[in-house]
Amino acid sequence: MSAIEDLATELSKLPGIGRKTALRLTYHLLKQSREQSRRLAESLLTLSDRVKPCERCFNLTEDDVCGICRDPRRDQSVVCVVEEPSDIGAIERAGGFRGVYHVLGGRLAPLHGVGPEDLTVVALVERAANGSVREVIVATNPSLEGEATAVYVQRELAATSVSVARIAPGLPMGGDLEYADRAAIAQALAARRSM
């Protein structure tokens, strides 16, 4: 495979990048200096070397424990459960939430081979059972799989003493939290309902 083909193939694996765009980007990269190419390659390697899941909440971090978990102003007794680290960004941008998070690492999707063992639910139950958590808010996406995941999380937490709430309906069904508008996210969190 040629170097051009090779890079275009790698780029076309990225979300939202089709074959045509991948080739256009490849030709664009060919025009830049060797120094620019080196910086791009190095930052990709640094990214995969340094970024890892937070030991406590599975958010992405360059430290053992992420900045949100370490922040003394955050309420450690309220845990918001999300599917992906990018959902944390969406909720943080919406503002108003002062608790901490727990990233599941996806949602239950039996048709795509994603089962409970692929998510961090066991770690969540351990967190909830250690006594420092008062409330868990399940903010999985408003999709069928997201709802099924929320029900699963609630059942797994039933043996603990924490209260479990689901974000209020109102976010676009099937949409991703990541793309919902700030006011809608803040409203869904504020109007959460006990499960």
103 is a site residue for Zn ion (CB under 5 A) = no
Q: Work out how close the CB of 157 gets to Zn ion at its nearest, in angstroms, rounded to a whole number.
A: 19
* Among residues 54, 80, 157, 164, the one that binds Zn ion under rule CB under 5 A: 54
Question: Which is nearer to Zn ion, 54 or 171 (by Cβ)?
Answer: 54
| Segment interacting with Zn ion (CB under 5 A) among 42-50, 61-69, 158-166, 180-188 | 61-69
119: contact with Zn ion by CB under 5 A: no
Only one of the segments 54-62, 71-79, 90-98, 171-179 lies at the binding site for Zn ion (rule: CB under 5 A); that segment is 54-62
Rule CB under 5 A: choose which of 22, 69, 136, 188 binds Zn ion. Answer: 69
Q: Any residues with CB less than 8 A from the CB of 146 and at least 6 apart, and which? A: 83, 107, 140
**Least spacing, CB of residue 94 vs Zn ion, in Å:** 18
Q: Give the separation between CA 190 and CA 195, rounded to whole angstroms.
A: 15
**Residue 160 binding Zn ion, by CB under 5 A:** no
Residues that bind Zn ion (CB under 5 A): 54, 56-57, 59, 66, 69
